[in-house]
Amino acid sequence: MAKRPSVIAHRGASENSPEHTLAAYRRALDAGADGFECDVRLTSDGHLVCVHDRRIERTSNGTGVLSTMSLEELDAFDWGSWKHPWADLDEEADLPDPDVTKVLTLETLLATVRDAGRPIELAIETKHPTRYAGLVERRLIEALDRFGWAHPRIGTESPARVMSFSWLSLRRVRTMAPGLRTVLLMDRVPLRFRDGSLPTGVSYAGPSLEIVTAHPEYVDRAHKHGHQVHVWTVNADEDVRHCRDIGVDAIISDRPQQALKTLADPTPALPLALRRPRTARRPLRRTPRKL
């Protein structure tokens, strides 16, 4: 049987908990996830916070562009109640839990990884374009440095890796922290990298689920070039099995507990033609006809 891929909790255990909250990551830790995934954005006063969107309306009760707000301003909003909008009608409900409602800083998430009691991988995605350009990567490396994770000693690896769709972002990271692993996220594979190679200095391939479903042979091509393959976002049981069967090294999932349960069962994935159509988490992006 193929080796089990690492299961990385996408924005925490975000199927059941509000994404990017401390509660979501603690739930993922309790579920046995091998690692966490987060997105980072820079506030107007220089703090990295774990938020996916450029604007804050979807995941908070505030409005506006995150990069124009200070951490104090973001702290005033509720970042969790959107997940369970009727909770405030329950007269017996507990008072709001700050682990659920408070904006999560990268610093707090790094401390959570450090204090987890077992090894936890941390995949940090930089979001681009942004008004702060290279300052995001600089602040990120500074934060990792405070935990001793930006410049791992020879023969050791940092628990953190940096992911981005932007080659320029990864190049900045590589320049500032040459020993830190990087992942190039892809919703399509550029022609010159369809042989499994990656830009100089990039450690791992990060193709979408759609790519490895349409072109499972890409995984072997990347492995032949010495690159691990980390696939996003993998939720359906059949997709989890498919990724395991083709040799994917890590899957990023909203459902870490269910993914681990599925991987514990050696049953192979059904042929693609026999699978149920998948409901996309977001609109599918274009994938290449050929790799």
State pLDDT tens for residues 217-262: 999 999 999 999 999 999 999 999 999 999 999 999 999 999 999 9
Domain boundaries, the chain: 6-274
Rounded distance between C-alpha atoms, residue 195 and residue 218, angstroms: 8
The pLDDT of 26-50, averaged and rounded, is 99
Amino acid identity, position 58:
R
Rounded distance between C-alpha atoms, residue 203 and residue 66, angstroms: 30
Return the pLDDT at 89.
Answer: 47
The pLDDT of 11-28, averaged and rounded, is 98
Instruction: Catalytic residue, from 20, 47, 52, 242: name it.
Output: 52
- Whether residue 10 lies in the annotated active site: yes
CB 226 within 8 A of CB 197: no
Nearest to 262 by CA among 242, 237, 234: 237
Residue 277 has pLDDT above 70, yes or no: no
The pLDDT of 122-151, averaged and rounded, is 96
The helix (run of H) or strand (run of E) holding residue 257 is helix 256-264
The count of C-alpha atoms lying within 13 angstroms of the C-alpha of 36, restricted to the half-sphere facing its C-beta, is 35
Rounded distance between C-alpha atoms, residue 128 and residue 103, angstroms: 20
Q: 188 vs 215, 229, 238, 280, CA distance in Å? A: 11, 14, 22, 17
Q: 185 vs 71, 126, 199, 241, CA distance in Å? A: 28, 11, 12, 21
Token duo for residue 154:
């020879």
Strand partners, 208: 232
Secondary structure string (H, E, C) spanning 32-44: CCCEEEEEEEECC
Token duo for residue 241:
């099995």
Output the pTM of the full model: 0.91
Nearest to 193 by CA among 164, 170, 224: 224
Percent of the chain with pLDDT over 70: 90
Instruction: Catalytic residue, from 10, 215, 230, 242: name it.
Output: 10
Token duo for residue 22:
């401390």
Residue 59: count of CB within 10 angstroms of its CB: 22
CB 127 within 8 A of CB 54: yes
> Higher confidence at residue 177 or residue 1?
177
The phi, psi pair for 256, rounded to 5°, reads -60, -40
b/e sequence 226-239, b meaning 16+ C-beta within 10 Å: ebbbbbbbbbbbbb
Mean pLDDT of the chain: 92
- Whether residue 52 lies in the annotated active site: yes
Per-residue pLDDT band at 48 (split at 50, 70, 90): very high
Strand partners, 232: 208, 252
Select from 3.20.20.190, 3.40.980.20, 3.40.50.1100, 1.10.645.10 the CATH code of 6-274: 3.20.20.190
Return the pLDDT at 95.
Answer: 53
